[in-house]
Amino acid sequence: MIAKRDGREIPKHIAVIMDGNGRWAKKQGAMRIFGHRSGVQAVRDITEGCAELGVDHLTLYAFSTENWSRPQKEVDGLMNLLIKTINSELPTLMKNKVRLTAIGDLQGLATGVYKKLSLAIDETKLNKGLNLILALNYSGKWDLTQAFKVICGEAIKGTIKPEAIDEDLVSNYLSTKGIPDPELLIRTSGEMRISNFLLWQSAYSEFFFTEVLWPDFRKKHLNLAIDSFNDRERRFGKTSEQLDFQ
**What does the longest C-alpha to C-alpha distance in the chain come to?**
59
Q: How far is CA 231 from the centre of its chain?
A: 22
Q: How many CB atoms lie within 10 A of CB 93?
A: 20
Please state, in angstroms and as integers, the Cα–Cα distance from residue 35 to each residue in 42, 137, 215, following that order: 11, 20, 7
Catalytic residues: 19, 67
Q: With left for phi above 0 and alpha for psi between -120 and 50, is residue 36 left, alpha or beta?
A: alpha
| 58: β partners | 14, 132
Identify the CA nearest to 89 among candidates 52, 137, 46, 57.
Answer: 46
Q: With left for phi above 0 and alpha for psi between -120 and 50, is residue 134 left, alpha or beta?
A: beta
For helices 32-53 and 72-95, give the axis angle rounded to 10 degrees: 30
Alpha helix stretches (DSSP H) within the chain: 21-27, 32-53, 72-95, 111-124, 140-157, 167-171, 219-230, 240-244
Beta strands 8-10; 13-17: pairing state:
unpaired
Give the N- to C-terminal CA distance of the chain in Å, as an integer.
14
